[in-house]
Amino acid sequence: MTIKREALLSQLTAAKHNSFIKIITGIRRCGKSFLLFNLFKRHLLSEGVKKDHIIEIDLENDENEFLTDPIELGKYIRKMTPKHRGRFYVLIDEIQRCRKVLPPGIDLSRVHPDDRESAYITFYSVLSGLRTSPHIDAYVTGSNSKLLISDVATEFRGRGQIIQIMPLSFSEYRDFRADEANPLAVLQEYMRYGGLPECALKPTPEEKERYLRNLYSTIYIKDIVERDKIQNAGLLEAVIDIVMSNIAGLTNPTKLTNTIQSAIDAKATRPTVVKYLGCLKNAFLVLEAARYDVKGRHYLDYPIKYYATDPGLRNARINFRQTEPTHLMENVIYCELVRRGYPVDVGVVMLDERKTGIHQTQQYEIDFVVNRGPKQIYIQSAYSIPTDEKREQETFSLRHTGDSFRKVVITSDPFQTRTYDDNGIAYIGLIDFLLDPHSLETL
């Protein structure tokens, strides 16, 4: 059965022929290759593009090992895309597997140390060449944010277009599970096993759990250790375990280091933990949310929050324990906001208060602050609001932002209708929010 990724496919088709390198990024096994080599290729064929004008290069295929040399890759592409034969579509999977090499005849010892890195040929050189070839429309996938996202501005001078792919949204998962009439049952399944497409296709809970666990040992940890030259794989796994156990919780590198030192590895250092956190982010295993003072309008350094890119991977890492619905719900909402293209921060409301005769500044949290243009939206994730007292507690920070931006409370109540209270705060159910991609704009 094919899982449709219509929203993502629309992004690709809209980007055709725009002279940019289309860079499709995301965690391994989230569907990048399928999107490019199946859905997008099928679209091209339906538009009348000839098969031999679609050049597919899978750098994970052992037969293509020689193409991980960027010089050979460039030669191969030029051979397969002669200018006199019209437009070609070049599709390259897992471009970060391409090595950096010295051009023939270069003696690195004769190059000034400051210039040695630029003496190498990399896949950026190949992609830059494709960008300046008007008869080639190029699309690449990659699973490392540092190599692909952070370097686009410098390497391509703004001529690269990032298309970030997340695992299946709940809406996509719900369409796939159309055989299940109860959307609440589908949501519970989604929050337990996540949205990796191959996991969704597994027929039993046992197979889903086995698949998710195996991904860590066979792909994710192995990739990070090899790519980032990790010296202490055990410490890396300890960092993964602690972060996954503490999703949606406030933390900082010092706190993480202290936890690891006391429970796992007394020799762990803060710089190493910071490095390993960066590796997890680069591999898209975790996403980081900074804290933003909504009244002071500035960012706070620490603490911060981490969220799992996929709840199923998070649950598998901790053996499906600690599946508390409040944190999982917050994680799912965060990922959905990122998937919809919002920049997402954790909001902080600073209030001066006097308690027991002492003047104090108190911090109150807003789960998410997102922007659409110049307008902000404040969002609170409230699993349950059974009483008026609980409602007051959940909305306190929203009522004290000091501005008139839209304020939304998302609750897990399956019977929650779209309503407003006397303070102008909107309420929406989690399923309703997840199934309607325009829910925040239309509230």
Secondary structure class of 8 (helix, strand, coil): helix
pLDDT category at 183 given cuts 50, 70, 90 is very high
Per the listing, tokens 């909305």 go with: 395
Q: Averaged over 85-94, what is the pLDDT?
A: 96
Q: What confidence score (pLDDT) does residue 3 get?
A: 85
**Listed ranges 111-115, 160-164, 408-412; the one with the highest mean pLDDT:** 408-412
Above 90 in pLDDT, residue 160? no
Q: Which residue has the higher pLDDT, 116 or 173?
A: 173
Residue 402 one-letter amino acid: G
Q: What are phi and psi of 358, to 5 degrees?
A: -115, 130
Above 60 in pLDDT, residue 355? yes
Both tokens of residue 38? 């199946």
What distance in Å separates the CA atoms of residue 231 and residue 275, rounded to the nearest whole number? 12
Q: What confidence score (pLDDT) does residue 359 get?
A: 77
Q: What is the pLDDT of residues 222-247, one digit of tens each?
A: 999 998 999 999 999 999 999 999 99
Q: What is the pLDDT of residues 257-273, one digit of tens each?
A: 999 998 888 888 999 99
Q: What are phi and psi of 345, to 5 degrees?
A: -125, 165
Above 70 in pLDDT, residue 22? yes
Q: Which residue has the higher pLDDT, 129 or 184?
A: 184
* DSSP assignment letter at 168: P
CA angle 82, 86, 87 (to 5 degrees): 95
The H or E element containing residue 438 is none
Above 60 in pLDDT, residue 296? yes
pTM for the predicted model, two decimal places: 0.91
CATH class, 6-164 region: alpha beta
Among the listed residues 330, 322, 325, the one whose alpha carbon sits nearest the alpha carbon of residue 305: 330
Q: What are phi and psi of 199, to 5 degrees?
A: -65, -40
Which residues are bridge partners to 366 per DSSP?
A: 347
Residue 39 contacts residue 45 (beta carbons within 8 Å): no
Distance of CA 397 to the CA centre of its chain: 28
| Bridge-based pairing state of the strands 426-429 and 406-411 | parallel
Above 90 in pLDDT, residue 356? no
Above 80 in pLDDT, residue 249? yes
Q: What confidence score (pLDDT) does residue 321 get?
A: 85
* DSSP assignment letter at 144: -
Mean pLDDT rounded to a whole number for the chain: 92
Residue 176 CB partners (closer than 8 Å, separation 6+): 1, 3, 168, 200
Q: What are phi and psi of 269, to 5 degrees?
A: -115, 155
* DSSP assignment letter at 121: B
Above 70 in pLDDT, residue 415? yes
What distance in Å separates the CA atoms of residue 362 and residue 289, rounded to the nearest whole number? 21
Q: Averaged over 354-360, what is the pLDDT?
A: 74
Q: Residue 416's CB: how many other CB atoms inside 10 A?
A: 19
What distance in Å separates the CA atoms of residue 98 and residue 295, rounded to the nearest whole number? 46
Above 70 in pLDDT, residue 152? no
Q: What is the strand order of the sheet 54-58 is part of?
A: 54-58, 88-93, 136-142, 21-25, 160-164
Domain with CATH 3.40.50.300 in the chain: 6-164
Percent of the chain's residues with pLDDT above 90? 75
Q: What confidence score (pLDDT) does residue 157 get?
A: 65
pLDDT category at 153 given cuts 50, 70, 90 is low
Residue 219 CB partners (closer than 8 Å, separation 6+): 28, 29
pLDDT category at 215 given cuts 50, 70, 90 is very high
